[in-house]
Structure 1
């Protein structure tokens, strides 16, 4: 992903520049990263205390990049649900429950799996290894692209979503 990408609408009209949101860890400079760390740590401390999640969110959560990404997304979705404009502050809303059932519970399960080998007193974090890329992938993509028409329309006989 680049710091700015260009996208066209489904109709192929005017391009829209897409920029990373402030929660995109890989795109943050040192100042923004420090701010997000502060916000995330405060929120995770609140979450762990409020929901008593010590068995699922271990004290070493910050060492685990997947946990950091999961918790960032959970924090963002929580704030999107629990913060609103003044005119809507008194409105009854079902998305508060949805946050718990759709996001919190599944995230806690995922976090527990990510840190299953960690204990309160020790972290089992292992430095991520480089991903393995199939050496035949480039040729496969070249062959696939070569079979397609240049018109932007699907080639005759091709099925959308077929593999």
Structure 2
């Protein structure tokens, strides 16, 4: 791993700061969150793009497929994120088209199967097909999560914007200031602020006031 040296303390600090999509560094809570997001997204991908056999029901058992699909999902999130798109007749964002040409199609080509070999100009073999996922997926995910280290008390928790919106709708979270979108949210007695670069809400470690009015200064 590449490191940089802090000349003031003579300590080497790693320059790599893994994101929440880096499976090798996830703790239990982060892995559970990413598994939930990935399982939902892959299910949508297989149905929307008619890939029930190209992406097999046991995809989660294969570590390479998990990594490939995680990268594909992350690129899709970035391409379709509201922060990266523009509405209107003049300005537009090509990221959505680029996701198909630069990410999805190479991914499918790598699988060597587009699923349309039987189609002709007169006939189309496309028809509704059942999408099967192996019945033990929940147990498989649980074993993966339990095998990981628990979250350190110093590791800040994160919540995706979609999940935060759900918590607000369920009255489990509330905005700090409705007039200030940057003020964050209150959830589980913590302040959550949006990390614009990572595009997740991060729990803030707030200072604890140890002073007591009953004790003399």
Structures share a fold, TM > 0.5?
A: yes
Q: Which of 1 and 2 has greater Rg?
A: 2
- Which residue number corresponds to residue 124 of structure 2? none
- Which residue number corresponds to residue 143 of structure 1? none
| Deviation per residue, 1:80-139 (Å, 9 max, x gap) | 0000328x54141222111101100111233458xxxxxx698xxxxxxxxxxxxxxxxx
The size of the alignment, in residue pairs, is 106
User: Where do residues 1-163 of structure 1 align in structure 2 (5 Å cutoff)?
Assistant: 6-7=3-4, 17-85=15-83, 88-90=85-87, 91-111=91-111
Between Structure 1 and Structure 2, which shows a larger proportion of strand residues?
2
C-alpha displacement at 1:18, in angstroms?
A: 2.7
Is the partner of 1:85 in helix, strand or coil?
Answer: helix
Is the partner of 2:15 in helix, strand or coil?
Answer: strand
| Deviation per residue, 1:33-87 (Å, 9 max, x gap) | 010000000100110110011121011100010000000000000000000328x
**TM-score for the superposition, normalised by structure 1:** 0.57
Structure 1 segments unaligned to the other structure (5+ residues)? 9-14, 114-119, 123-163
Structure 2 segments unaligned to the other structure (5+ residues)? 6-12, 114-131, 135-217
CA distance in 2, matches of 1:30, 1:121: 23
Between Structure 1 and Structure 2, which shows a larger proportion of helix residues?
1
C-alpha displacement at 1:7, in angstroms?
A: 4.5
Moved over 6 A (4+): none
Is the partner of 1:96 in helix, strand or coil?
Answer: helix
